[in-house]
Structure 1
Amino acid sequence: MHPPTAPTPAAPGSIPLIGHVHRLARDPLPFITSLREHGSVVRIRISRTPAYVVTDPALTRRVLVTDAEDFAKGGKIIDALRVFFGDGLATVADGDTHLRNRRLMQPMFNKAHIETRSTAMIEQVRSMATGWPEGIPRDVFADMNDVALAVFLVALFGTDLPGHLQSEFTALMPEIMKGTIRQTVLPPWLTRLPLPANRAHADRVRRLRELVDQAIDHRTASAPVSRSADEAARPPGCPHDPRTQQGAGLIDTLLNAEHPLTHQQLQDEAITLLTGAIETTGTTLAWTLYEISQNPRIEERLRAELASVCPGRPLAQDDLDHLPYARRVLQESIRKYGPAWMVTRTATRDVNLGGHHIPQGADVVWSPYLHQHDPAFFPEPDAFDPDRWTADRAHHTRGSFLAFGDGRRKCIGENFAWMELQIILATILQIWPRMELTSRPPRAQAVVTVKPDALTLTFHRHAHA
């Protein structure tokens, strides 16, 4: 017998026919964080459809971990993203396919395996960042997305990916992400009409799949599947010896799997990984560079740590574990700015969640941004304080830092994300001893991630006098 349920409070400001869409479009971050004032579960309306926002991180843990079977991957946002991603790990329904694909892809992201790609990643960042002109204001959000994408393309498809493919990926991905978020906000019937914006988005997605095919074909031609006696003796999915696979990419793990993915599945997973790699990584790095530019003491500590670990030489993989302050700075940036601000699940049956009745089929919303700005866990949540992640303070935040999700759908690429973030940040700081904000302070804009609306920095090769 289930405990009795209480009426679920409704968020104020709903408008007939559109519900709270105007708030989600106009001021989504203040709106989503304000819901905490109304209860641990709050009902909003997206057009005419009710959705239940979970504001208590303990209840979100039930949704993601304890009672995960009652809350399937789904909802309006996931349905819209599925048009773009297909059935990649981020959007595929719970069940055997998800479990099989996750197990198949897990070796790609084992720490030892991704470390074999670090040298190529460091060289890619150095090549790009060294080429920036000194003293010229740069769109840092665009730069960080370009660097993150280029680094991940090297890691995923190897070091010999043709330049024209990399260039077209770089040009295409930002436009696709704009179209994807547009589809998550508009009513479904409107996104199905043959409007110019809908046709353009469909054409871009189609072209992206063609690019992924070309990259996979190039990788297959560059490293044809042939297993030596030593390789055949390895367990399926075991990473190749990096000494003999210098040009290889993470996708070789899937191409050489004992039970490989289908062509469609390879496409879906590659697109999912590419999007996760650039949108969240690029956003985090842009905000991190902004916060460093505004906090001289933080910048000084970062540069001192970096100089002590690798004095007078480029960063190496072995250095990353000796940069704890850089890791805390990045974690605080992720905490303060997202990366995702709203994620959905679908109730698979009638559920009692914290004393609130959630009907079968309802969208259940949880927000990393909301939880990571909860003053009960993060005092002064709008302050940028990397030292809140020291060992003596971090335990107070347990269960409320959910940037990578939790449970069986937790981000499979978390280890890779941390390595990529640290490599890019440390390498930029090594190359550019000084950076200055040349735009007004950016405002947080909730799109797929919480990105800066306008952010330019100038980079200088000489430190302050």
Structure 2
Amino acid sequence: MNTPTQAPAPTRTAPGAFPLIGHGHLLARKPLPFINSLREHGRVVRIRIGTTPAYVVTDPALTRRVLVTDAAHYTKGGKIIDALRVFFGDGLATVADGDTHLRNRRLMQPMFNKAHIARRGDAMIEQVRSTVASWKANRERDVFADMNELTLSAFLVALFGADLPEHLEGEFTALLPEIMKGTIRQTILPPWITRLPLPANRAHAARVARLRALIDQAIDHRATRTTAPAAAHAASASAGEPAGCPHATAAREEEGLFSTLLNAKDPLTRQQLQDEAITLLTGAIETTGTTLAWTLYEIYRNPEIGRRLRKELAAVCGDRPLRYEDLDQLPYARRVLQEAIRKYGPAWMVTRTAARDMNLGGHTIPKGADVVWSPYLHQHDPHYFPAPETFDPDRWETDRTATTREAFFAFGDGRRKCIGENFAWSELQIILATIVENWPRTQLTSPLPSPQAVVTVKPDTLTMTFHRF
């Protein structure tokens, strides 16, 4: 709730703003050092994005108020969300608060319960294993690109089924990183520049249009395929076969998660289906692929972590390949992944809009103002994460997590918390375990990577060779 009895405190403006562009040059040139530095200036700090003021929340407790306690007064919006909406449309991540968001979230929630994900688990493992096993030993690979391709291929199998035409996956992989670069460009530049008919703006619009055309092809493909399993299921039922018979089970396995939306009693429009598919695909690729790339880098830097991962995997699987039900028996792998998410983001700047004049920790937030919170900033706070630049999976051991979880915002919080969190953990563990299982040793072949803030915090360059022994 709002706290008007708390005396207003002066809100400092971060140093370094330029006329017209505000702090845009710092957000463009050194975004992570800049966002991390704001903690020194107060619990709430004013910045300017172009000429528009924004209020950055540096205290995790106040961010939780924005996302949970006072969420009704901080609506989904702000400059970042406005830029993402050009790309996502009104997908679940960007649609305004209200009846549409509640309806769509309730409609999609069954797609991401653990039982539904488990039905796609073995298909995902098979897809990932096939790809990873095809890599050539001792050959230099672009790890970030590989992780994006792996996460995309696994998610496409889960989302649309295993029979999606191959060209769609290739174009998705090529388009999405460029679209995300264009989106962050639109976020940090003044609006009047993004509206000009410049080559970069036209190219961004063309890529978004092409992505929507590809999504249409995937939806049409899934829609036509959905009728066959449904008919097979109906035929099985009319023949007196039980619901759990192989024919019925195979039909459900083939459908993919997206069939939940296609078969809904209150179906989405084609535009809404596009928006949700784009939202899901982007969340699956950017965040998961980035996390996995950094995880492999940290395993290379810390050989003891790799040894413990291999030992845990061997104890659970022995000589057989990974199975979906093994994932819950790999707690150390989960801690390694959580530490990668903690250290590298995945998101570094998110916005809300104040729906009314608010008092946030004694700071006055005017109605209509952008409120910025940063998982990266909070997850590098030394008060909650001692030695934040140290990669320490053991900080997530059960008896040490009471404090760390207070500042862990990688999946958001409150009613807008990431709906795909359960899926993300499954996909991350499947891919990491499969790589460790097939390629127990890696060698860095590029210079040490530096974090680069786009939408996620990705490595600027990261190449490795993979070795079986």
Q: Indicate whether the TM-score tops 0.5.
A: yes
The 8 Å contact of residues 41 and 55 in structure 1, kept in 2 or not, is answered as yes
The 8 Å contact of residues 28 and 446 in structure 1, kept in 2 or not, is answered as yes
How far apart, CA to CA, are the structure 2 residues paired with 1:198 and 1:379?
42
Change beyond 3 A, Cα 1:243–1:53: same
Change beyond 3 A, Cα 1:65–1:229: farther
How far apart, CA to CA, are the structure 2 residues paired with 1:205 and 1:125?
27
Q: Which residue, 218, 223, 228 being the options, matches 1:220?
A: 223
Asked if 1:377 is matched to 2:384, the reply is yes
Q: Which residue, 32, 35, 45 being the options, matches 2:38?
A: 35
Equivalent residue, structure 2, for 1:320: 327
The 8 Å contact of residues 50 and 189 in structure 2, kept in 1 or not, is answered as no
Deviation at 1:23, TM superposition (A): 1.0
The CA deviation string for residues 40-89 of structure 1, in whole angstroms up to 9 with x for no partner, is 00001111111000000000000000000110000000000000000000
Equivalent residue, structure 1, for 2:300: 293
Equivalent residue, structure 1, for 2:110: 107
Equivalent residue, structure 2, for 1:98: 101
How far apart, CA to CA, are the structure 1 residues paired with 2:311 and 2:56?
43
Taking only aligned residues, the RMSD between alpha carbons, in angstroms, comes to 1.6
Equivalent residue, structure 2, for 1:140: 143
Alignment of 1:273-292 (within 5 A): 273-292=280-299
How far apart, CA to CA, are the structure 1 residues paired with 2:185 and 2:327?
38
Alignment of 1:17-96 (within 5 A): 17-96=20-99
Deviates more, 1:396-405 or 1:352-361: 396-405
Deviation at 1:3, TM superposition (A): 2.7
Q: Which residue, 208, 211, 220 being the options, matches 1:208?
A: 211
| SS of corresponding position for 1:399 | helix
How far apart, CA to CA, are the structure 1 residues paired with 2:410 and 2:248?
32
Q: Which residue, 173, 177, 180 being the options, matches 2:180?
A: 177
| SS of corresponding position for 1:258 | coil
Change beyond 3 A, Cα 1:39–1:222: same
Asked if 1:434 is matched to 2:441, the reply is yes
How far apart, CA to CA, are the structure 2 residues paired with 1:125 and 1:362?
44
The CA deviation string for residues 92-132 of structure 1, in whole angstroms up to 9 with x for no partner, is 00000000000000000001001111111111111111121
Deviation at 1:241, TM superposition (A): 6.4
TM-score (norm: length of structure 1)? 0.95
The CA deviation string for residues 308-350 of structure 1, in whole angstroms up to 9 with x for no partner, is 1111111101100000000000000000000000000000000
Equivalent residue, structure 1, for 2:362: 355
TM-score (norm: length of structure 2)? 0.95
Deviation at 1:244, TM superposition (A): 3.2
Equivalent residue, structure 2, for 1:187: 190
| SS of corresponding position for 1:117 | helix
Deviates more, 1:318-327 or 1:394-403: 394-403
Equivalent residue, structure 1, for 2:240: none
How far apart, CA to CA, are the structure 2 residues paired with 1:27 and 1:61?
26
Q: Unaligned 5+ residue runs, structure 1? A: 232-239
Equivalent residue, structure 1, for 2:244: none
Task: Give the letter aligned to residue 62 of structure 1.
Answer: R
The 8 Å contact of residues 236 and 248 in structure 2, kept in 1 or not, is answered as no
The CA deviation string for residues 180-230 of structure 1, in whole angstroms up to 9 with x for no partner, is 222112211111111121111111111111111111111111121668499
The 8 Å contact of residues 116 and 242 in structure 1, kept in 2 or not, is answered as no
Deviates more, 1:147-156 or 1:160-169: 160-169
The 8 Å contact of residues 157 and 248 in structure 1, kept in 2 or not, is answered as yes
How far apart, CA to CA, are the structure 2 residues paired with 1:188 and 1:242?
51
Deviation at 1:302, TM superposition (A): 0.4
The CA deviation string for residues 279-305 of structure 1, in whole angstroms up to 9 with x for no partner, is 000000000000000101111000000
Deviation at 1:242, TM superposition (A): 4.2
Equivalent residue, structure 2, for 1:124: 127
The 8 Å contact of residues 21 and 190 in structure 2, kept in 1 or not, is answered as no
* Identity score, percent: 74
How far apart, CA to CA, are the structure 2 residues paired with 1:347 and 1:106?
27
The 8 Å contact of residues 357 and 365 in structure 2, kept in 1 or not, is answered as yes
Q: Which residue, 231, 255, 266 being the options, matches 1:248?
A: 255
| SS of corresponding position for 1:197 | helix
How far apart, CA to CA, are the structure 1 residues paired with 2:21 and 2:171?
37
Equivalent residue, structure 1, for 2:408: 401
How far apart, CA to CA, are the structure 2 residues paired with 1:371 and 1:127?
38
How far apart, CA to CA, are the structure 1 residues paired with 2:304 and 2:86?
45
Asked if 1:448 is matched to 2:455, the reply is yes
Task: Give the letter aligned to residue 45 of structure 2.
Answer: V
Task: Give the letter aligned to residue 365 of structure 1.
Answer: V
Equivalent residue, structure 2, for 1:338: 345
The 8 Å contact of residues 50 and 188 in structure 2, kept in 1 or not, is answered as no
How far apart, CA to CA, are the structure 2 residues paired with 1:347 and 1:79?
14
